[in-house]
């Protein structure tokens, strides 16, 4: 069975994306995609810069429902949400949920882990006593609970704390202080039976040369027989299947034998062959 041309991690102008939902659909059809899932950022009242407001959330759901009908027969459209760990409203009534940790609660405030390199380093100094491994441990301790907290099907960008760490410029990803809480989180998430995404979003935006998760982590996921899917975390219509052929090769090299996709009656695993995606 051939792996379908699809992506479930997609953002639009309803949150921090560059294009309308309809522009994304039209671009997906032009790119011969078979399935497009939208995953707007859930409401986070302490930071309105990237998320959907409660009003926008309703408008988002209505627009995806309209597009599903308008383009029926041309492409399959799903309505999901990227539910942040600290979002106050439950993620109910969606086709699927991506659970993500974008913030940490420390020192009485919410700290973004992916806003900028400067804010990341400032958080290390001001809230974690200059010890970056305390911050990364806090991140993974939070991520370990994301399935229980959000009820997610998919875990978003597992090692997001590596976003600004290309070439280990901020911390060593082989240090036991980094790996131990990361692997503890993996074990806990495997028990929650979530799907792990290979996410090319930081590649498309110029932060990383390889996808999330790292090769070390993806090999561990494969060894543990965790379910894996490809997602682009697209914030523009030009990134809907960004470097998916390269990501599939990356998955094979890490021992991933199959990729998970939404079937007509639930999730299914498609063997990862040699065909182009």
Per-residue pLDDT tens digits for 6-64: 999 999 999 999 999 999 999 999 999 999 999 999 999 999 999 999 999 999 999 99
50 inside domain: yes
- CATH number of the domain where residue 155 is located: 3.20.20.140
139 inside domain: yes
Per-residue pLDDT tens digits for 24-37: 999 999 999 999 99
Domain coverage including residue 32: 6-271
Q: Hey, which bits of the chain come out as E strands? A: 6-7, 35-41, 76-84, 96-100, 103-106, 109-112, 154-155, 195-199, 227-231, 258-263, 266-271
Per-residue pLDDT tens digits for 108-147: 999 999 999 999 999 999 999 999 999 999 999 999 999 9
253 inside domain: yes
Per-residue pLDDT tens digits for 253-262: 999 999 999 9
1 inside domain: no
What is the pLDDT averaged over residues 186-201?
97
Domain count for the chain: 1
What is the pLDDT averaged over residues 162-179?
98
276 inside domain: no
Per-residue model confidence (pLDDT) at position 46 = 97
**The pTM is what?**
0.97
Per-residue model confidence (pLDDT) at position 3 = 83
62 inside domain: yes
219 inside domain: yes
């Amino acid at each position: 069975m051939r792996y379908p041309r699809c992506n479930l991690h997609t953002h639009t102008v309803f949150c921090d994306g560059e294009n309308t939902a309809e522009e994304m659909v039209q671009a997906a059809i032009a790119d011969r995609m078979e399935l497009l899932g939208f995953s707007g950022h859930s409401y986070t009242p302490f930071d309105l810069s990237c998320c959907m407001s409660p009003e926008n959330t309703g408008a988002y759901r209505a627009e995806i429902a309209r597009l599903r009908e308008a383009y029926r027969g041309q492409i399959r459209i799903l309505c999901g949400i990227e539910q942040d760990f600290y979002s106050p409203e439950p993620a109910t009534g969606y086709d699927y949920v991506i659970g993500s940790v974008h913030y940490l609660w420390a020192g009485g405030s919410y700290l973004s882990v992916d806003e900028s390199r400067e804010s990341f380093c400032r958080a290390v100094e001001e809230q974690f006593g200059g010890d970056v491994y305390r911050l990364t441990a806090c991140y993974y301790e939070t991520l370990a609970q994301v399935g229980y907290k959000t009820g997610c099907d998919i875990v978003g960008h597992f090692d997001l704390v590596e976003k600004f760490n290309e070439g280990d410029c901020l911390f060593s990803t082989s240090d036991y202080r980094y790996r131990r809480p990361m692997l503890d989180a993996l074990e806990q998430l495997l028990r929650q039976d979530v799907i792990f995404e290979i996410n090319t979003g930081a590649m498309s935006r110029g932060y990383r040369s390889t996808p999330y998760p790292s090769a070390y982590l993806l090999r561990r996921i494969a060894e543990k027989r965790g379910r894996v899917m490809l997602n682009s975390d697209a914030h523009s219509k030009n990134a809907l299947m960004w470097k998916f052929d390269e990501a599939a090769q990356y998955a094979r090299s890490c021992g991933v034998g199959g990729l998970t996709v939404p079937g007509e009656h639930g999730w299914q695993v498609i063997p990862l062959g040699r065909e182009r995606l």
